[in-house]
Amino acid sequence: MRCSSLRGKKGREQDAPDTPPRQRGLSQKGRGNFETDRPPILGAVGRESDEIRLEVIPDTSHDTLDAHLVEWTHEDSKIYSDSWQGFNDLTRDQAQVNHNQGEWARDDDGDGEREVHNNTIEGTWTGLRIRLRPFRGVSKHYLSGYVALYECEINIEDVSPKFIHKIAYLH
């Protein structure tokens, strides 16, 4: 097998080995999707529980985002997000910050605390990028496994014998 036959999609053999390698996903503008080799990852952090949910999703459409957030959150939860159009008119109560207008945090109830922000999940993305950096890119076909392991590491406070037992006997 020639080296050029591995060019293209990471972790997959290229159909036409003489074609140039794919363009860097991060140099493309706009939100990604699975087909453009930029699969989005949706994340949510419980402000009271500190529990994190992460999932590779096919796109960032309203229906996709709303379905996941409804599944992950309690009915009385409030969603704090950026102003991406897919977050408009969610089933759950929500508040948004608009990064395009230089808004990063806002105090909506006047108590002096800027409760409307998405800084916690932004920090999670930084941690995930650091975790993936040594791999110098991950195939979109395996990304969900790496994301699931990272989510598990964040949510598990102690690696106890009970935790190891649960992992070892998953069916």
**Every domain of the chain and the residues it spans:** 1-30, 32-168
Q: Rounded to whole angstroms, how far apart are CA atoms 101 and 83?
A: 10
What's residue 20's pLDDT? 59
Q: Average pLDDT for consecutive 10-residue bins of the chain (171 residues)?
A: 43 61 55 78 89 91 92 90 88 90 88 88 90 87 91 82 76 55
pLDDT at 35: 77
Q: What is the pLDDT of residue 128?
A: 93
The pLDDT of residue 67:
94
The confidence score (pLDDT) of residue 109 equals 87
Residue 44 bridge partners (DSSP):
53
Note the pLDDT of residue 108.
Answer: 86
The CA distance from 146 to 102, in Å, is 32
Instruction: State the amino acid at position 50 in one-letter form.
Output: D
Determine the pLDDT at residue 6: 40
CB-based burial label for 126 (10 Å; 0-12, 13-18, 19+):
exposed
**Is the pTM higher than 0.75?**
no
Superfamily of domain 32-168: Ribonuclease H-like superfamily/Ribonuclease H (3.30.420.10)
